[in-house]
Structure 1
Amino acid sequence: MKYLERQNFACMALMECWICERKCKLNEGKVGVCKNYANINGELVHIGYGKLSAVESRPIEIKPFFHYYPGTTALTFSGYGCNFYCPWCQNYHLSFSSPPDIELIPPEKLVGLALLHGDQGLCASFNEPATLFHYLLDVFELGTKRGLYSCLVTNGYFTLKALKMLLDAGATGFSIDIKGCPGMKVLTTIDHSKVFRNARFILDNGGHVEMVYLVVPKANDSCYEWIFKMHLEKLGEDVPLHINRYYPANYWRESPTSLECLIRLREIAMKEYNIKFVYVGNVGDPRLEATHCPKCGKRLITRIGYRVVEFKVKDGKCPYCGERIPIYG
């Protein structure tokens, strides 16, 4: 085959994955960055479909979701691989792995397990749910028919097409990790603004969003002004924000984020950017995980150990002053 002919053949065999904003261009037989989608005979094939790394019933607050079906549990499941590969990833043993040659768990079996355990919902977590996209569509559609809610813990880097399909399949809750900001020295190929674009799209289409900012020293700890500004401008003051503590993991060995830093950022987010519901996580302090009325200051929801132990919100409002408290479900 002549050189030009070989070039033309390569172009014909090339295809673009449309699930996440990396939009991997795949040659015949090759897999994308997430290791779960391949170009096989010119078709995008989900080779990781139903290959799960964990299945476990967990409280919804641990995701974290503080304003989404409080006090319930969700059957939480995960696959293998990721599309970001953060050097501080806590679940790198899953996220940095390819889907192994194991028996898949059919959607019917997973939904049946949730009902058997008495869970109220389904949640894709641990590794990035984009790796399980087509599986999620089947699981969430079936779960919705059986009365279960469906949610994700995600980096939020889906294309709008994929996001619309998830919403149509029944996904209503999105706990979205915002990893950083423009100008970072790590994750330089990520357009972080698209994460906020997607969060806005979810809200506009009836879904629930909670943003999570894991503050990683010497990585994204200087991004807070951009993150808070984008949060307020794109999502609004009512969308919950979780400012979480980092611990050394994987390749990142800096000391854990100081509590003083986390509390200072919480104060900035609330006082300078007027974000109403800001929580500090991964520190085990119930005072920093309680929901207070942004108007009168009364404590309305108390959480201890990822469990709701006190809930005073009445019909979506503060019972003391009538301020609206956004709770989904």
Structure 2
Amino acid sequence: MSNFIIFKTKIGSHFCNVSFYVKLMFMNYPTVKKAILQEEIKEGQACCVLCERRCVIKEGKTGVCKTRKNINGCLYTLVYGDISALEARPIEIKPFFHFYPGSKALTFSTWSCNFDCPWCQNWHLSKNAPNPGSACFIEPELMVEIAQQEKTDGLCISFQEPTVLFEYALDVFKLAKKKGLYNTFVSNGYMTLEALKLLKEAGMDAINIDIKGDKQVYKEYLGAREEVIWRNAKAAKEMGMHVEMVHLIVSGLNDELKKIKKIVEKHLKYLGPQTPLHFTRYFPAYNYHKPPTAISILEQAYTLAQKKGVLFPYIGNIPGHHGENTYCPHCYSLLIKRHGWQVVENYLTQNTCPFCGQYIPVVI
């Protein structure tokens, strides 16, 4: 039974179930569109194939992310073009340090998330369910026009989990590519491989994946599987996307050096030494109120990654720290100096160190 309010009225000599018209009106909202990735299941249920939760959703209900609804046995996205935030921002803020340094991306988001992190930094977006009746709808064509008007170099879907904006991302990315703009995601990396492949085909150039911690953190706090994130990161790189990994080190959760060591080892195993690995400082937010990450922990993580063989480790959320800079792994020369999210100096004009000739994997 649908969760719409059902009552009957007489039209002529026939009785009509008004819930039908309510549903019809609901589906006429511009932000409500048929979901691309779904599978039919008996008795009006449908399985969402967008993320690896693979929610089985009953008639009238939504999945974990609250952005997919079962209407008459078919899944619909409730957030197509429903934009919750929009801003032109430096690509370094994502953080992407090896992808068009110094460029700007028109960054936007929608509502809700498929994870429920108690320490979420953007909880005012990720913890709110969408409402098609009060949505701020921006057509894909207009989004690309805004990117051009703001003189940005590309698009980035961020702030909350971009995977839930999937259908819109496909349309926007295709249009952006035609205009010579790049397309990026800042993601928790929990999409299905089917979704990842379609994003690549639509023109996604780069993905930044946030590592929440080890297997225990994913299981206890998120009800998710850690291995999916590493699988998707590896798959994205094999598809030809630029990949950078971010580990938000949260006080009292994943800040033990032995846990960080495991993250570093998996990074090397799945992505290799040349893929950037960022260690980012946490600050209290939402329902997690332990003190900010100790700077010493971040520095230990940075040094550990270097010793293990990560060629491009970084420290984030500490403006002015030397760990923000890019150094040549061969001659140790400073190649890109940053302060916060700004590029202060950039000595790279090609993909080689100008001082020793070492190859540097930076998209320029």
Return the letter of the residue paired with 2:305.
A
Are 1:308 and 2:339 an aligned pair?
no
**2:145 partner SS:** helix
Among residues 207, 213, 231, which one is paired with 1:197 in the alignment? Answer: 231
Deviation at 1:286, TM superposition (A): 4.2
Return the letter of the residue paired with 2:155.
L
After TM superposition, the score normalised by the length of structure 2 is 0.86
Among residues 108, 116, 120, which one is paired with 1:89 in the alignment? Answer: 120
Comparing 179-188 with 96-105, greater Cα deviation is found at 179-188
* Whole-angstrom CA distance in 2 between matches of 1:33 and 1:291: 39
* Whole-angstrom CA distance in 2 between matches of 1:102 and 1:182: 36
Comparing 44-53 with 218-227, greater Cα deviation is found at 218-227
Deviation at 1:188, TM superposition (A): 4.7
Among residues 173, 185, 198, which one is paired with 1:165 in the alignment? Answer: 198
The answer (yes or no) to whether the contact 1:84–1:187 under 8 Å persists in 2 is: no
Are 1:40 and 2:71 an aligned pair?
yes
> Unmatched 5+ residue regions in structure 2?
1-40
State the match for 1:118 in structure 2.
151
Are 1:175 and 2:208 an aligned pair?
yes
State the match for 1:261 in structure 2.
297
After TM superposition, the score normalised by the length of structure 1 is 0.94
Deviation at 1:49, TM superposition (A): 0.8
State the match for 1:134 in structure 2.
167
* Whole-angstrom CA distance in 1 between matches of 2:363 and 2:159: 22
Higher Rg: 2
Are 1:284 and 2:319 an aligned pair?
yes
Structure 1 ranges of 4+ moved more than 6 A: none
The answer (yes or no) to whether the contact 2:98–2:276 under 8 Å persists in 1 is: yes
Deviation at 1:308, TM superposition (A): 1.4
* Whole-angstrom CA distance in 2 between matches of 1:117 and 1:178: 31
Aligned residues: 319
Return the letter of the residue paired with 2:266.
M
Among residues 211, 231, 246, which one is paired with 2:245 in the alignment? Answer: 211
The answer (yes or no) to whether the contact 1:48–1:99 under 8 Å persists in 2 is: yes
Deviation at 1:315, TM superposition (A): 2.1
User: How high is the sequence identity, in percent, across the aligned residues?
Assistant: 46
Return the letter of the residue paired with 1:313.
L
Q: Deviations over 1:225-276 (max 9, x none)?
A: 22111100000000001000000000101000000110011101111x2000
Return the letter of the residue paired with 2:157.
A
**2:262 partner SS:** helix
Comparing 191-200 with 279-288, greater Cα deviation is found at 279-288
Comparing 124-133 with 95-104, greater Cα deviation is found at 95-104
Deviation at 1:285, TM superposition (A): 2.0
Among residues 82, 86, 91, which one is paired with 1:55 in the alignment? Answer: 86
